[in-house]
Amino acid sequence: MVGHGRESIAAAVYEQLKILGYYAGTVGGCIVEPITAGGGIMVPVQEYYPILQSICRKYGVYLIMDEVVCGFGRTGKFWGHEQYDVDPDIITMAKGLASSYMPLSATVFRQDIFDKFLCDPNQPGERLNYFRDISTYGGCTGAMTAALESTRLIEEEQLVENSRVVGAYLLEGLQSLRDMPLVGDVRGKGLFCGVEFVKDKQTKTSITEGEMGRIMGLVAAEGVLVGRTNSSLPGNNTIMNFAPALVATKSEMDEIVSALKRAIEKF
């Protein structure tokens, strides 16, 4: 089981400090997810990002938040980083930007960073001093229209609030399974939760990936499809991931929790 308590976070921040201090002047940015998705729904303690941000600012490193998964309401806030006292310099986004109706991603910068990409077209020596990229379908209005409409629905139907309320209900239901065999940890925010499976609750030794596959099959046999970490981090691929649609209801969360409970009992 990968540690994610305060001692582990302190150690991680210390490593960041050593890395950024050692490579001061050569590191341009530090990219992080508000809540790590692929690594197993790793939820940092509240102190982590303020400390990391202070380290980045000390060494002139841009703090970049990857909101591809957490953004647009997934964690119960519109942006995942809003769960923490942090103000990133750059934000990347995709997925929820157009709710997968169209492929679309974007990067947002602080104004002073954006200004570095500007140029004076009237100055021959500066005319090409801007960020240039090539996009085959750049300028396609279809994706932009999907993003505008998707975001409008998220706001008008208060789906971020639904994620917060129904997500808290889901997490509470999953927490009720903590005392069952195999359940080593339950964590998450909003409609973004994870259950980690272990052989031994004392040593926190993970079950095998084969055993994890069996549990996944048992849950599927109950009529519920859930996700799992897969080849993300060695020895940490035994976390079941839950990311229901933002329109999900409490009764549907009951179905998910009940299916998982029956699957564990049958294991």
Calculate mean pLDDT across residues 55-82.
95
What confidence tens digit (pLDDT) does each residue in 208-232 have? Answer: 989 999 999 999 999 999 999 877 6
Most confident of 18-22, 117-121, 263-267: 263-267
The pLDDT tens digits of the residues spanning 91-141 come to 999 999 999 899 899 999 999 998 888 877 788 777 777 777 777 777 788
Confidence of residue 1 (pLDDT cuts 50, 70, 90): very low
Judged against a pLDDT cut of 90, whether residue 193 lies above it is answered with yes
Residue with the larger pLDDT of the pair 15 and 71: 71
Residue of higher predicted confidence among 174 and 237 = 174
6 pLDDT band (50/70/90 cuts)? low
Locate the domains of the chain by residue range. Answer: 6-156, 159-266
Distance in Å from the first CA to the final CA of the chain: 20
Q: CATH assignment of 159-266?
A: 3.90.1150.10
The pLDDT of residue 38 = 84
Topology classification of domain 6-156: Aspartate Aminotransferase; domain 2 (3.40.640)
Average pLDDT value over all residues in the chain? 89
- Helical packing angle, 6-22 and 48-58, nearest 10°: 10
